[in-house]
Structure 1
């Protein structure tokens, strides 16, 4: 019985981790065509750069557009358990 409760809690936490969609943002899987169409810095290049810079694990990545400007937004679980949010300019790759 206790295992069922723990499993239900884990499922609820994972469901919340995705959170509500942010207006103007695409999931990592949906971003490819937009990246190609707009000549943005390739997603894999930015992803690798964020991982090297933080030393952590990326737990969420998305591409957001606001008024014609594109930004990659990342949530990174750091090596000590802290969560860091980073924005990267999708046109230049600059943090």
Structure 2
């Protein structure tokens, strides 16, 4: 069992000029998700190898942000290969 350091690692990302920090634990991500996503997250997590947790957490944090229509539209454009309309961090600072 890993040694408890007393600190919880966090996932951080920028969202609309704010830094969002989500505890990088299964419980932390589950608690951060909207209630309608929690059961599915639990099922997926229970079937994910530990080595894939980093990717799993980021996928779910991104999924939760899709509830915002602006984010959903931008993610759709990016997945479709269209980067027009996106700006870099430097352009927004």
Q: TM over 0.5: same fold?
A: no
Relative contact order higher in (CA < 8 Å, ≥ 6 apart) = 1
Give the TM-score normalised by structure 1: 0.29
Give the TM-score normalised by structure 2: 0.30
More strand by percentage: 1
More helix by percentage: 2
